[in-house]
Amino acid sequence: MNYKIQKISGDASFREFYRVKKDNKSSIIVFAKKEKFKNLIVYCVVNNILNKHKITSPNLIKNYYQDNMIEITDLGDRSFYEFIKNKKNKLLDYKKLVEIILKLQKIKLKKKYHFGRNKIKFVRYSLSQLHKESDLFFDWYLRYTVKNKNLNKIKKLLRKELNNIYKKLYFKNNYFTHRDFHASNIMLNNKKLGVIDSQDAIIGNPLYDIASLIDDIRIKLPKNLKDNLLKYYILKSKFKSKDMPNIKNDFDILSVQRNLKILGIFVRLYKRDQKPNYLKYLPYTWSMIEKRMKNPIFKKLNILFKKHLPLRKLKKLQKI
């Protein structure tokens, strides 16, 4: 039997990936020394849940947890992002991703799952969790882009208003949430769409994954496509009429929250992990935050930004 091992491009996590070719078959080795319980064990458990619900995900082939790695099935090397980025008419293909989100949201998680002796329990998105994520914006992005002695005071003011906004989220955290659902985390394999990078799954708001997909910072989708995708999701979700006024608010809040987090994560990747490639996404991330903050629900936050951290000033500081 002939073996060939090739390191393949990784992601924003601490994991490393290797493609192993054995004759005409291939598999993926996932190596994770840091956060290995989440990146290996939880990842396997979530993938198993997805596959049981007929959502294509990598299957576990062999567990080498004691050696900080697992072997999983190979879903190929072509992502939905690579497939779609230069395609003119994207609507029909993107609708297929919306349908995957709808399938995810039908999953009813058990209280506990077992993987060998390990117990895995999925938590719900909480107010503190939302803050923990958006705090990355203050602790990394602002820390390295804004020279202001009053940064802690500014953080306190903005965080207080974000807290008021998060409390206005209408939908309950009752839905399976992938938490990083975007075009680069969907693979094309034998004409099937497969979901990867699912180790951060949580029980959350139904608008989170759809906001992650539509306001994907890696690909610039036209406004009419974004609007049509949200309308398609709403139509297929069969929301009640009383829910309708709150859908757009929840979408905008979660999009802003997620993209503030992303600004912080990408600066952290640059400063801490020496991964400068992510900095190129910062300007578009800011433009999406600005667009979503046109919603009146952000009126006071906009005032605070203009007073203490003008977006124009922030956007001039993209070269960190």
Query: What pLDDT sits at residue 311?
Result: 61
Residue 203 has pLDDT above 90, yes or no: yes
Residue 10: pLDDT band (50, 70, 90) is low
Residue 318 has pLDDT above 70, yes or no: no
Tell me what the mean pLDDT of segment 232-253 comes to.
93
Q: What's the CA gap between 151 and 132, in Å, rounded?
A: 17
Query: What pLDDT sits at residue 270?
Result: 92
Question: Are 142 and 155 within 8 A, CB to CB?
Answer: yes
CB atoms within 10 A of CB 15: 21
Least confidently predicted of 10-14, 59-63, 130-134, 280-284: 10-14
Residue pLDDT, tens place only, 253-280: 999 999 999 999 999 999 998 888 999 9
Sheet of 25-31: strand order equals 3-8, 16-22, 25-31, 69-73, 60-64
Query: What pLDDT sits at residue 231?
Result: 96
Residue 145: pLDDT band (50, 70, 90) is confident
* Dihedral-angle region of residue 80 (phi above 0 means left; psi in -120 to 50 means alpha; beta otherwise): alpha
Q: Where are the domains of the chain?
A: 3-73, 80-315
Q: Domain 80-315 falls in which CATH fold?
A: Aminoglycoside 3'-phosphotransferase; Chain: A, domain 2 (3.90.1200)
Residue 104 has pLDDT above 60, yes or no: yes
Residue 146: pLDDT band (50, 70, 90) is confident
Residue 217 has pLDDT above 90, yes or no: yes
Q: What's the CA gap between 79 and 181, in Å, rounded?
A: 12
Residue 41 has pLDDT above 80, yes or no: yes
Tell me what the mean pLDDT of segment 236-241 comes to.
89
Residue 310 has pLDDT above 90, yes or no: no
Tell me what the mean pLDDT of segment 97-117 comes to.
95
SS3 content of the chain, % helix, strand, coil (to 5): 50, 15, 30
Tell me what the mean pLDDT of segment 247-251 comes to.
97
What is the greatest pairwise CA distance in the chain? 67
Query: What pLDDT sits at residue 147?
Result: 74
Residue 13 has pLDDT above 90, yes or no: no
Query: What pLDDT sits at residue 5?
Result: 87
Taking the model in full, what pTM does it have? Answer: 0.93
Which of these CATH numbers, 2.120.10, 1.20.1540, 3.30.200, 1.20.1420, describes 3-73? 3.30.200
Query: What pLDDT sits at residue 194?
Result: 97
Query: What pLDDT sits at residue 148?
Result: 72
